[in-house]
Structure formats: structure tokens, C-alpha cells
């Protein structure tokens, strides 16, 4: 029987093997494992690609989020961490790391519901919350471009200006995506990307990168990732060992050459699903926005009748993998309980999404035949 995985990293490696092998061999020859030349080369290339002044490699997307927030606390508050009275608005429908980074930066996450069609935070509800909350309590917004689709960055940047807030974009799932022609991660005060292997631009392990146009934020981040100082034997801040590994930088550099091609390939698979699966009763397809260039990290559908477990099982029986991103909204998790987070109103759209979405395979190198096979069996479910 056919097997259609969510992603086929072996196939991708075969496709880029000569580039990746050469990059690894160069590292073996130079033996500069900590902040080797590949890290700077990758930072410069990604900064040029995004159109930002600075990119700074990080040990993971999670650490990239934490260090971006910490740098803003140091710059704006002149304190090492935010404190519990400082609120940062984010979505409850994301990977744990988004909310966790806010806690680790010392602030309180405020979860605001999502738009039921895009699955991204609902900017109108952010406005409602800001209008009703005491001035100065909210310090920033952490929008997540979920599944590769941009949030409504016009409205979010407008709110930032009106209410004097910082914006840190969580771009973990949206490398190469854009909003009105601007690359995601270049719009807010800072952006945090992940090179987790399954991401659109992934390494062979953990890694990430931060982007910013702010010279001071960049300077602080560079200190934070090296234990907190310009001189690591005499430090200024509570820092991390948060550097991007040379080997990961080398792999990501080799793969970076293919990012636009691979995002286009993802778009083709998604386009095929869009046209072939439309009109199926009880199946809602993902929405695109005219202002957004979707990076199609995931192709996520929702079912409105029947059991999701049963649907996943039926597809699995045909060799088709599916995944649920994410089965639990953050406000339902213990880690965000005990007063460690706040919610605004009810979060029904996030809860409904957690209970009804699942993602279909979008491997950039997936053949048209395999995409048609997925379509055939998804259609059969109805
Ligand atoms: C939305 C989101 N934020 C943050 C992260 C954290 O990235 P990492 O796994 O590289 O720490 C991920 C991915 O894992 C993610 O999907």
C-alpha cells in the first residue's frame, strides 16, 4: 500500500544531497564549531532575504522568542525581565513555546481568541481588549503566523502605534511568507524563526534565528545568546547559551538555496487540494488572504460532522498520514494555570479549532499522483 507521510525528509535530503554534503565537509575541514563562518553567512543571507538590518542565529525557535522578548524588556524597561504586571497578548491556538516564551521573559500572557477562518489571532478582539484595559498594562503583542499564513499585520501594526506596544512576530511556521509584499519577520520590532527539522526551512536538529531592524535590540540579543555579555567572562545580563550551532547553520545555508522553490511546491500541493476538495459537505478548507503570500507550512482542514479520530483512522488505513496542530489550546494547559496567564472573553473559536482541525501531507516533493491519492480518499470520507 502507498504510504504518504506528512513530510519526507529523506527525499528532501536526496534532492539537495550534494549541497548539504559539501557544506558538512567544509565544516569538518575548518573545525570552527562555535559561531563558525557559516553562522555569519546565514545571518547575512537571511537578513538580505527578509529585508532587515540584523539577523542573529539562535539555538532554537523557542530561545529566539525568549531572547527577543528579553531584549525588549532590557531596552524598554531597563530591567532584566518583564514582571507579572506586564501583559503580552498572544493567541491560545499555537505551539506551547509561544506562550511559554512570554512566561520565561517574566510577563503574563493574555490569550485572545482567533478568527475561525484563518486560525490566527483576531485583531478586532485585540482592539476590544486594549480599549477596555488600563493604559500601559499591555506592553506588546506576539502574533503567530500559524500554518504559514500571515496575521492581519495592518491592524496589528496600527494597534502597536495607537497603544505604544512592541510586536514580536512568531514566524516559526512561516519562513518565506509575506504580508503586502513584506516578508514576515520584517514587520514588527523583532521576528523569531525556527529551524526545527519539519519547518519550511529546517536543519538537522534544533536551531532558529531572530530578525530586527533595531540596532540596540540586535546588540542586546547578541549579548544574551553568549551568556549575557560582550565578553563572556565578564557579563552584563542574565544570559543563555543560545547560539546557533555551526553545523546547523551549514545545513540551513545549503537548504536556503531551495526555500522559494520549496515554498512554491508547497503552494502547488495546496492549490491542488483547494481546487479538488472544494464543496465537500462538512469539510472546511483553509482560507487564504489576498494580502498574504501563504507559506503553506501546513494544509489544515476542519470537519464539522463525524469523528475526527475516525477520519484520521480511515486515512491512516489508506497509508495517508495526518496530524493535529494543536489538540489543546494553551489556556487549557496546566502550565498556564494558577494565575500565570489571562484570557479575554471566551476562546470558543480556539477551542473549536482544537477539537476539529487536522492537517494533510504537504511535502514539497510530493508527486501529483500522491496528492491525487490523498484527494481521492479524503473525498471518499464524505
Ligand atoms: C508557532 C511556533 N512557535 C515556536 C516554535 C518553537 O520552535 P523550536 O521548536 O525551534 O523551539 C514552534 C515550533 O516548534 C512553532 O511552531
DSSP state letters, 206-245: --EEEEES-HHHHHHHHHHTBTTSSBTTB-SS---B-PPB
Beta-carbon contacts of residue 377 (< 8 Å; ≥ 6 apart): 314, 315, 318, 320
163: pLDDT strictly greater than 70:
yes
Query: End-to-end distance of the chain based on CA atoms, in angstroms?
Result: 22
Which pLDDT value is given to residue 232? 84
Provide the whole-model pTM. 0.98
Return the DSSP state at 198. Answer: T
The rounded Å distance from CA 62 to ligand 1 centre is 6
Looking from the CA of residue 64, the nearest atom of ligand 1 is 11
List all residues 6 or more positions away from 368 whose beta carbon is below 8 Å from its beta carbon: 272
d(CA 312, CA 327): 13
Nearest one of 325, 250, 263, 324 to 293, comparing CA atoms: 263
Cβ–ligand 1 contact at 336 (below 6 Å): no
**Rounded Cα–Cα distance for residues 9 and 137 (Å):** 44
3-state secondary structure of 101: helix
Residues 281, 302: Cα–Cα separation, whole Å: 11
Looking at residue 297, its pLDDT comes to 98
Q: Quick check: 175 and 288 in contact, CB under 8 A?
A: no
**Helices assigned H by DSSP within the chain:** 9-30, 37-50, 61-77, 96-104, 123-132, 153-163, 215-224, 246-256, 259-277, 308-317, 348-356, 368-381
Q: Is the CB of 91 under 6 A from ligand 1?
A: no
pLDDT reading at 47 higher than 80: yes
Phi, psi of 354 (to 5 degrees): -60, -30
Contact 150, 174 (CB under 8 A): yes
CATH 3.90.1150.10 range(s) for the chain read 259-381
166 touches 160 (CB < 8 A): yes
Probe residue for ligand 1, chosen from 7, 59, 61, 170 as the CB with the greatest number of ligand atoms within 8 Å: 61
Q: Which contacts of 181-186 are long-range, i.e. CB under 8 A and separated by 24 or more positions?
A: 182/51, 182/153, 183/49, 183/50, 183/51, 184/145, 184/150, 184/295, 185/50, 185/52, 185/211, 186/50, 186/51, 186/52, 186/211, 186/213
CATH number of 259-381: 3.90.1150.10
CB 13, CB 21: distance < 8 Å: no
**In the chain, where does the domain assigned CATH 3.40.640.10 lie?**
9-256
Ligand 1 atom with the smallest distance to the CA of 62 is 11
| Residues paired with residue 210 on neighbouring β-strands, in sequence order | 56, 192
Distance 379 CA to ligand 1 centre (A): 32
pLDDT tens digit sequence for 189-228: 999 999 999 999 999 999 999 999 999 999 999 999 999 9
Residue 259: what pLDDT?
98
| Distance between Cα 97 and ligand 1 center (Å) | 6
Query: Which fold does the domain 9-256 belong to in CATH?
Result: 3.40.640
pLDDT digits (tens, 9 = 90+) for 306-341: 899 999 999 999 999 999 999 999 999 999 999 999
Residues of the chain with pLDDT > 90, as a percent, come to 98
Q: Give backbone dihedrals phi and psi of 56, rounded to 5 degrees, phi first.
A: -135, 120
pLDDT of residue 382: 61
Ligand 1: which atom is nearest the Cα of residue 144? 1
Amino acid at each position: 500500500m502507498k504510504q504518504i507521510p506528512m513530510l519526507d525528509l529523506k527525499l528532501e535530503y536526496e534532492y539537495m544531497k550534494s549541497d548539504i554534503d559539501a557544506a558538512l565537509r567544509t565544516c569538518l575541514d575548518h573545525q570552527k564549531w562555535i559561531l563558525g563562518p557559516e553562522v555569519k553567512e546565514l545571518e547575512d543571507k537571511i537578513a538580505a532575504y527578509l529585508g532587515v538590518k540584523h539577523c542573529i542565529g539562535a539555538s532554537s525557535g523557542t530561545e529566539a522568542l525568549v531572547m527577543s522578548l528579553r531584549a525588549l524588556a532590557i531596552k524598554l524597561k531597563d530591567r532584566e525581565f518583564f514582571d507579572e504586571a506586564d501583559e503580552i497578548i498572544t493567541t491560545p491556538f499555537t505551539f506551547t513555546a509561544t506562550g511559554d516564551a512570554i512566561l520565561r521573559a517574566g510577563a503574563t500572557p493574555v490569550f485572545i481568541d482567533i478568527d475561525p477562518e484563518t486560525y490566527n489571532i483576531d485583531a478586532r478582539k485585540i482592539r476590544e481588549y486594549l480599549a477596555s484595559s488600563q493604559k500601559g498594562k499591555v506592553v506588546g503583542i506576539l502574533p503567530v503566523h500559524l500554518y504559514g499564513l500571515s496575521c492581519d499585520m495592518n491592524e496589528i501594526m496600527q494597534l502597536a502605534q495607537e497603544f505604544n506596544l512592541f510586536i514580536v512576530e512568531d514566524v516559526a511556521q512561516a519562513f518565506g511568507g509575506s504580508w503586502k509584499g513584506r516578508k514576515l519577520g520584517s514587520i514588527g520590532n523583532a521576528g523569531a524563526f525556527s529551524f526545527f527539522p519539519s519547518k519550511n526551512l529546517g536543519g538537522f536538529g534544533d536551531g532558529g534565528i531572530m530578525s530586527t531592524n533595531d540596532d540596540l535590540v540586535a546588540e542586546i540579543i547578541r549579548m544574551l545568546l553568549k551568556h549575557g555579555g560582550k565578553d563572556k567572562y565578564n557579563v552584563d545580563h542574565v544570559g543563555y547559551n543560545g547560539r546557533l550551532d555551526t553545523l546547523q547553520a551549514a545545513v540551513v545555508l545549503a537548504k536556503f538555496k531551495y526555500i522559494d522553490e520549496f515554498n512554491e511546491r508547497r503552494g502547488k500541493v495546496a492549490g491542488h487540494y483547494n481546487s479538488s476538495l472544494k464543496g465537500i459537505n462538512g469539510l472546511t478548507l483553509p482560507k487564504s488572504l489576498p494580502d498574504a503570500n501563504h507559506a503553506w507550512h501546513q494544509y489544515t482542514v476542519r470537519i464539522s460532522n463525524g469523528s475526527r479520530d475516525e477520519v484520521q483512522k480511515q486515512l491512516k488505513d489508506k497509508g495517508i498520514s495526518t496530524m493535529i496542530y494543536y489538540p489543546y489550546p494553551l489556556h487549557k494547559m496546566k502550565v498556564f494555570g494558577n494565575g500565570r496567564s489571562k484570557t479575554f472573553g471566551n476562546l470558543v473559536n480556539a477551542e473549536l479549532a482544537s477539537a476539529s482541525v487536522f492537517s494533510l501531507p504537504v511535502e514539497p516533493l510530493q508527486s501529483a499522483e500522491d496528492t491525487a491519492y490523498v484527494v481521492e480518499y479524503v473525498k471518499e470520507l464524505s
